[in-house]
Amino acid sequence: MNSSQRLKAFCAETAYGLALVGSLLAGCSESAPDQIKQPLSYHRDIAPIVDNYCGSCHSHSGIGHFSLGTFAEVSRYAPLIRGAVANGTMPPWLPSQDSRPLHGSRLLRTQDKDDLLRWIDEGMAEGNPSDPPRTDLPPKAVVTPPRADLVLDPGRNYLPDGTQNDDYHCFVFDPKLTTDRFITAGDALPGNHHIVHHIIAYEIPEAEAAAIKAKDPTGQGYTCFGSPGTMSPPVTILGWAPGGVATRYPQGTALRLHKGSLLVMQVHYNMLEGKGQADRTTMQFELTDEAPQKELHSLPVARPKQLLIPAGAADAVQTIEFPLSVLLSRFGLPSSKLTVYGHTPHMHLLGTKISTELNGAKLIDIPRWDFHWQQGYMFQSPYQASGSDTFKLECHYNNTAEHQPVVGGVKQTPRDVTWGEGTLDEMCLNYLLLSAE
Ligand code: HEC
């Protein structure tokens, strides 16, 4: 046994005794000869990583402000890339690895993150454009776009209110349905990527249709921070956030669109970079008349009256914990057998962390909340539950002077904050997308 073989054997033997030999093991990764890493090249190693994890936004038509499609572009932005990737702000993806596996995850695998950083640190070798690109990256989620059976299109440009940094605008549509129909897929098509930050479609039940129409006397839409302003909890049909792709519900499932309902498309315009720019965002849905095997329901979990975030609190917490039967009976659903396909957690600007659990096991874990990157999350495989299972939603907030939102250029002073739809109110909310038998 030569010395490097001895070192390898030592390293293999002690790998399970990390705590005892921590300092010795540091030598293992540095000196073991088979651990010496090949230098990385742009064309072989880095272009595929950047295309996979960054390309959907950092293209010439994307929302990422600059394109990362060539060696010159990636090396020019390398110092910024290093910072943003190392601290986890890019690619934007809030759920941690502790979450149940999610569709469309943008989370950088550790080895891909390490390679990107190492390539920058090594001095950014270009390599040869004819080098075959690596093929060991996770596949991108591909969704067949919906048929355009129902299109939400305001029919004209909307010019957001440039005096606010955030303009939430609700466009009202009447699909004039005389029978119930079922949504199997949908997509949002943002018009102006520079200003559209998120898009949500809500179903407004017939009983509230007149009240919503009254908010929109001119037919140009109305301002609607947080939610469309219904009396009952708003029913979300589909959401889109930057980088989002079309949604297709699992085979055999669909969401019911009730006859007489209106649809509201809420567009959040972020005007920091795009004052004076207009937008025409549309959505489209694939519909069927056939009832699915499993009808989907989007149920909100919240306790609005109990939410209190005291002024100055560094870590105010609201925990909502209950057997799922409580939620199901409130919405008149049976509770023997549930299948849960996705979650949509939601807070406003003071939120710092949010998580959901079933019987103590993590489902979604967002350790660093960011209001501007929220979306609905679909599980790679749905989970089963019954009414007796305990569901928990936990929301954390920082209401100290340092963590106040800036409104109209003015940093707010802490005040007691409760539930509400205003910019400076808060929420602790999660939608469950489920079917019940
Ligand atoms: C889902 C869309 C999206 C993806 C995917 C994405 N970015 Fe970004 N990126 C943005 C947006 C939008 C901004 C502008 C800042 C903001 O709004 O947060 C940005 C900003 C940046 C910045 C500037 C940050 C700063 O401090 O000014 C860098 C660097 C960056 N992205 C690198 C990357 C890299 C590298 C990847 C892939 C590993 C990536 N991004 C993936 C949307 C995206």
Question: Residue 278 maps to which CATH number?
Answer: 2.60.120.310
pLDDT of 313 reads 98
Within 10 angstroms of residue 362's Cβ, the number of other Cβ atoms is: 15
Cβ contact 356:430 at 8 Å: yes
Structural domain includes residue 49: yes
The residue type of 307 is L
Cβ contact 233:226 at 8 Å: no
Give the pLDDT band of residue 387 (cuts 50, 70, 90).
very high
User: Is 228 found in the same domain as 184?
Assistant: yes
Cβ contact 288:296 at 8 Å: no
User: Is 169 found in the same domain as 269?
Assistant: yes
Residue ID of nearest Cα to ligand 1 atom 42: 64
Within 10 angstroms of residue 416's Cβ, the number of other Cβ atoms is: 12
pLDDT value at 12 more than 60: no
- Average pLDDT score over residue span 229-256: 85
User: Is 261 found in the same domain as 148?
Assistant: yes
Residue 42: CB partners within 8 Å, gap ≥ 6?
71, 74, 75, 119, 124, 125, 126, 127
**Residue 64 Cα to ligand 1 middle (Å):** 5
**Residue 360 Cα to ligand 1 middle (Å):** 34
User: Is 306 found in the same domain as 166?
Assistant: no
User: Is 259 found in the same domain as 372?
Assistant: no
**Residue 92 Cα to ligand 1 middle (Å):** 7
User: Is 298 found in the same domain as 276?
Assistant: no
Structural domain includes residue 48: yes
Separation between Cα atoms, residue 381 and residue 384, nearest integer Å: 10
User: Is 437 found in the same domain as 303?
Assistant: yes
202 or 8, greater pLDDT: 202
Structure tokens at 113: 């993150």
How distant, in Å, are the alpha carbons of 68, 402, 417 from that of 348?
Answer: 31, 16, 11
Cβ contact 419:307 at 8 Å: yes
The domain containing residue 274 runs over which residues? 143-292
Within 10 angstroms of residue 114's Cβ, the number of other Cβ atoms is: 13
Residue ID of nearest Cα to ligand 1 atom 19: 64
Separation between Cα atoms, residue 166 and residue 275, nearest integer Å: 11
Within 10 angstroms of residue 15's Cβ, the number of other Cβ atoms is: 11
Structural domain includes residue 137: no
User: Is 196 found in the same domain as 319?
Assistant: no
Choosing from 274, 292, 310, the residue where a domain stops is 292
Structural domain includes residue 409: yes
**Residue 105 Cα to ligand 1 middle (Å):** 15
Average model confidence (pLDDT) across the chain: 88
* Best CA proximity match to 89, nearest among 369, 345, 405: 369
pLDDT of 284 reads 97
User: Is 63 found in the same domain as 152?
Assistant: no
Exposed e or buried b per residue across 249-262, where buried means at least 16 C-beta atoms within 10 angstroms of its C-beta = bbeebbbbbeeebb
Q: Is the dihedral of CA 350, 356, 361, 366 positive or negative?
A: negative
Percent residues over pLDDT 70 in the chain: 91
Cβ contact 409:317 at 8 Å: no
Structural domain includes residue 231: yes
User: Is 73 found in the same domain as 18?
Assistant: no
Structural domain includes residue 127: no
Structure tokens at 319: 């925990």
Atom in ligand 1 nearest the alpha carbon of residue 81: 29
Structural domain includes residue 162: yes
Separation between Cα atoms, residue 288 and residue 270, nearest integer Å: 35
The residue type of 299 is L
294 or 3, greater pLDDT: 294
Residue ID of nearest Cα to ligand 1 atom 31: 90
Ligand 1 — pocket residues by CB below 6 A? 53-54, 56-58, 63-65, 77, 80-81, 84-85, 90-92, 106, 242-243
The tally of CA atoms less than 13 A away on the side-chain side of residue 351 is 29
Query: Total structural domains in the chain?
Result: 4
Q: Which range among 31-40, 241-250, 260-269, 373-382 has the greatest average pLDDT? A: 260-269
Separation between Cα atoms, residue 320 and residue 335, nearest integer Å: 19
The residue type of 56 is S
Q: Which range among 47-61, 202-216, 222-236 has the greatest average pLDDT? A: 202-216
pLDDT of 423 reads 65
Cβ contact 197:274 at 8 Å: no
Residue ID of nearest Cα to ligand 1 atom 16: 64
Structure tokens at 5: 């073989």
Residue ID of nearest Cα to ligand 1 atom 29: 81
Separation between Cα atoms, residue 129 and residue 110, nearest integer Å: 26
- Average pLDDT score over residue span 299-304: 92
Residue 398: CB partners within 8 Å, gap ≥ 6?
313, 314, 315, 316, 350, 352
Phi, psi for 214 (deg, rounded to 5): -65, -25
pLDDT value at 131 more than 60: yes
pLDDT of 324 reads 96
Residue ID of nearest Cα to ligand 1 atom 32: 81
* Ligand 1 site-directed mutation target among 57, 68, 71, 80, most atoms within 8 Å of CB: 57
Percent residues over pLDDT 90 in the chain: 68
* Best CA proximity match to 270, nearest among 200, 201, 197: 197
Structural domain includes residue 131: no
Separation between Cα atoms, residue 52 and residue 98, nearest integer Å: 22
Residue-wise pLDDT for 149-193, tens only, equals 999 999 999 999 878 778 999 999 999 999 999 999 999 999 998
User: Is 281 found in the same domain as 233?
Assistant: yes
**79: region left, alpha or beta (phi > 0 left; psi from -120 to 50 alpha):** alpha
**Residue 332 Cα to ligand 1 middle (Å):** 43
Question: In this structure, what CATH number is given to the domain that contains residue 365?
Answer: 2.60.120.230
User: Is 269 found in the same domain as 245?
Assistant: yes
